[in-house]
């Protein structure tokens, strides 16, 4: 039994090390005047997956309740200076503008 376990552990170690990239990493030592990051994705490639919708000014009603330990306000009527409140307000206005609808709570 111990022999089988030893072989199994040895096989697992060998299999995990064989998955690594063995190609040599070449370092570019020449100075470049171009400082743009070519690895960063462009804004056109990034999407939120929500698609393009138009709700023609419809009203989206949210039912919420007040609870002391949870910030359950899903909609706020104005900016107050509170970070969470202001972010909720900004998010909702961006969504309303993008999808042409109105939040009510």
For residue 16, what are the contacts with CB-CB under 8 A and spacing of at least 6? none
* Residue 21: inside a domain: no
Q: What pLDDT sits at residue 91?
A: 92
Q: Can you read off the two tokens belonging to residue 96? A: 């309303």
Q: What is the pLDDT along the chain (105 residues), one digit of tens a residue?
A: 777 778 777 777 777 665 555 555 555 555 555 555 566 556 567 788 888 999 999 999 988 877 778 777 788 888 999 998 899 999 999 999 999 999 888
Pairwise CA distance, residues 90 & 84, whole Å: 10
* Residue 31: inside a domain: no
Contact status, residue 86 vs residue 79, Cβ threshold 8 Å? yes
* Residue 71: inside a domain: yes
pLDDT digits (tens, 9 = 90+) for 67-85: 778 777 788 888 999 998 8
* Residue 55: inside a domain: yes
Q: What pLDDT sits at residue 23?
A: 56
Contact status, residue 102 vs residue 96, Cβ threshold 8 Å? yes
Q: How many folded domains does the chain comprise? A: 1
DSSP 67: B
* Residue 40: inside a domain: no
* Residue 1: inside a domain: no
């Amino acid at each position: 039994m111990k022999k089988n376990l030893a072989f199994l552990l040895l096989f697992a170690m060998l299999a995990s090390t064989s998955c690594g990239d063995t190609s040599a990493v070449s370092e570019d030592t020449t100075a470049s005047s171009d400082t743009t990051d070519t690895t960063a994705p462009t804004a056109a490639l990034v999407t939120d997956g929500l698609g393009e919708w138009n709700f023609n000014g419809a009203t989206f009603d949210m039912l919420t309740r007040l609870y002391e330990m949870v910030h359950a306000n899903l909609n706020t009527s104005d900016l107050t200076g509170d970070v969470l409140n202001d972010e909720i307000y900004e998010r909702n206005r961006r969504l309303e503008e993008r999808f042409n609808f109105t939040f009510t709570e």
